[in-house]
Structure 1
Amino acid sequence: MVACVVKSDPLDKDAEPFVEVDPTGRYGRYTDLLGSGATKKVYRAFDQEEGIEVAWNQIKLRGFADNEVMLDRLFAEVRLLRSLKNDNIISFYNWWTDEKDNTLNFITEVCTSGSLRDYRKKHRHVSIKALKKWSRQILRGLEYLHTHEPCIIHRDLNCSNVFMNGNSGQVKIGDLGLAATVGKSHAAHSILGTPEFMAPELYDEDYTELIDIYAFGLCLLEMVTMEIPYMECDSIAKIYKKVTSGVKPLAMNKVKDPQVKSFIEKCIAKQSDRPSASQLLQDPFFDGLDDDQ
């Protein structure tokens, strides 16, 4: 199916023109970018049927012409996203390929306030209670992924892949592009992710969904300190050396609240001592919070 270019109505001078619509005519894409990565651009778009703003994710397939593995991974992400339904996971609406432009396009929910990293930078004064509420929602999303059949490991959880609806305080995990589905053994065997958030066992290429718990712990550390973990390292090699030697990021010294510090330490403990998302949700750390589901 080929997406067609839509010309705006010359009589309607105030209308914001779509630069592209999907093959069904339901979704229209605007020019403004919500974000971009190495392979993907995310544009603001509109669902004409529901009357809501959405995100139009566009991946140029040209760059993967010689890389079957990456192509397979992209299509796997799309198939995976379609099957997920959870309040703390970005919703997925539709997908198609455009053969003329050689792109893979998919429509997802848009979070009004962007990534958790950007949101936290914008709002410097946030209570521990609010950080706990955000954390609990991330854990609920992880619990859903980890107890899914088959189990899903995100593998690249960090504050730029978690998104915020700032008006409601709702938090959603997105960017499942590196997610892996694993069988009953819950073991996976390839190295990928964002180095600062990668658990030591990831480097050994023998890991389970508990790598997401480690990454979550470092997300909480970033939320508290507004500092990306291991900022003191100027190369991936130095991060690798510290992580595999069990050296914690210097940012841990900035966490003044003992309860928060102890909770982060549980999350980044060695694999055999690390709790599951379900166990962490029962932790006294969350006692006294009103329910934000």
Structure 2
Amino acid sequence: MPSVNPDPLDKDSEPFVETDPTGRYGRYSELLGSGAVKKVYRAFDQEEGIEVAWNQVKLKNFTYDPAMVDRLYSEVRLLRSLTNQNIITLYSVWRDEEHNTLNFITEVCTSGNLREYRKKHKQVSMKALKKWSRQILKGLNYLHLHDPCIIHRDLNCSNVFVNGNTGQVKIGDLGLAATVGKNHSAHSILGTPEFMAPELYDENYTELVDIYSFGMCVLEMVTVEIPYSECDSVAKIYKKVCSGVRPQALNKVKDPEVKAFIERCLAQPRARPSAAELLKDPFFDEIDDDENNDTDCS
């Protein structure tokens, strides 16, 4: 293993702030993103010679909930077993007892998240948006058919990542993912309010909450507007969602086919289709023949 301490006289070299216990991965100081409990840093895999993302969760946020820490750790470990080209790959995970952090190394996408990418590129064809949507669905289908079933629970455009040079998109940020048993139901409220299905608030839901969130993602992709941006508080969003009031952004969708597809995703749980069913929707017919970079659904 090469030395992780660069020559101090080498001005072109970038020093690592810290390395993982094996010495394989080195973290730089550059922050790629941050959330309520997690920070993501640029890092380097010395063995493969590639840049990666170093995700760090401060466990002090869960000091009084050791069960949550254990669950978080076990669920992140489970993600190591996932192999799908539309899911961000997890390479390594470990707990740092000294600094009270949970760390995990994931692949990094060259163009950042879909929300920022879409804002940056305003002129995008409906065909391209459908290609992105289809890849997200393929990732969801993989998670939902996994044994045990995995519910993402926090799907939104900031948790979908893009390789802009290939047009490939991948679902990431599975930190809130829940594994569920045979009945496919979960019971805790987590997520991003604008993208949360009404039944999530009732604390009794299935993987179909991800389909609702996916519908909101499609809406954001089409309108370049976060759903319910007309609301100035979480309470107002909650009230509208639970009352079945659609976000104003939906009125901006002029294409009836696109609007109908989004509405199908936002339907009541009983009428909401699965990811597998949506992949067969005529909405995707025009892109079936010319797709070559995301044909694998395994």
Query: CA–CA distance in 2 between the matches of 1:81 and 1:214?
Result: 22
Q: Report deviation, 1:8.
A: 2.8
Query: CA–CA distance in 2 between the matches of 1:191 and 1:89?
Result: 23
Matched, 1:66 2:51: no
Q: Report deviation, 1:18.
A: 1.3
Query: CA–CA distance in 2 between the matches of 1:103 and 1:276?
Result: 36
Matched, 1:183 2:144: no
Query: CA–CA distance in 2 between the matches of 1:184 and 1:7?
Result: 49
What's 2:244 paired with? 246
**Residues 73 and 177, structure 1, Cα contact 8 Å, conserved in 2:** no
Q: Report deviation, 1:179.
A: 1.0
Query: CA–CA distance in 2 between the matches of 1:243 and 1:63?
Result: 29
TM normalised by structure 2 equals 0.94
Query: CA–CA distance in 2 between the matches of 1:244 and 1:105?
Result: 36
Which one-letter code corresponds to 1:23 in the other structure? P
- Where does the alignment leave 5 or more consecutive residues of structure 2 unmatched? none
Which one-letter code corresponds to 1:25 in the other structure? G
Query: CA–CA distance in 2 between the matches of 1:201 and 1:150?
Result: 21
Q: Report deviation, 1:6.
A: 5.2
Q: 1:5-31: per-residue Cα shift (whole Å, max 9, x none)?
A: 954312322111112111211111111
Query: CA–CA distance in 1 between the matches of 2:100 and 2:203?
Result: 33
Q: Report deviation, 1:68.
A: 2.0
Q: How does 1:103-122 map to 2 (within 5 A)?
A: 103-122=101-120
Q: Aligned to 1:214, what secondary structure does the other structure show?
A: helix
Q: Aligned to 1:164, what secondary structure does the other structure show?
A: strand
Distance 1:7 1:49, change over 3 A: closer
Q: Aligned to 1:141, what secondary structure does the other structure show?
A: helix
What's 2:77 paired with? 79
* Matched positions, count: 289
Q: Aligned to 1:160, what secondary structure does the other structure show?
A: helix
Q: Cα RMSD between the aligned structures?
A: 1.3
Q: After superposing the two structures, state which structure 1 stretch, 262-271 or 59-68, moved more.
A: 59-68
1:214 to 212, 216, 219: 212
Which one-letter code corresponds to 1:132 in the other structure? K
Query: CA–CA distance in 2 between the matches of 1:73 and 1:262?
Result: 38
TM normalised by structure 1 equals 0.95
**Residues 6 and 19, structure 1, Cα contact 8 Å, conserved in 2:** no
Q: How does 1:82-161 map to 2 (within 5 A)?
A: 82-161=80-159
Q: Report deviation, 1:91.
A: 0.2
**Residues 41 and 58, structure 1, Cα contact 8 Å, conserved in 2:** yes
**Residues 85 and 170, structure 2, Cα contact 8 Å, conserved in 1:** yes
Query: CA–CA distance in 2 between the matches of 1:165 and 1:244?
Result: 35
Q: Report deviation, 1:147.
A: 0.5
Which one-letter code corresponds to 1:87 in the other structure? Q
Which one-letter code corresponds to 2:204 in the other structure? D
Q: 1:39-92: per-residue Cα shift (whole Å, max 9, x none)?
A: 111110111111110001112222222122431332133112111111000000
Over the matched positions of the two proteins, sequence identity in percent amounts to 76
Which one-letter code corresponds to 2:265 in the other structure? C
- Where does the alignment leave 5 or more consecutive residues of structure 1 unmatched? none
What's 2:42 paired with? 44
Q: Which runs of 4+ in 1 moved over 3 A?
A: none
Q: 1:245-269: per-residue Cα shift (whole Å, max 9, x none)?
A: 1111100010111111110010001
Distance 1:6 1:101, change over 3 A: farther
Q: After superposing the two structures, state which structure 1 stretch, 129-138 or 183-192, moved more.
A: 183-192
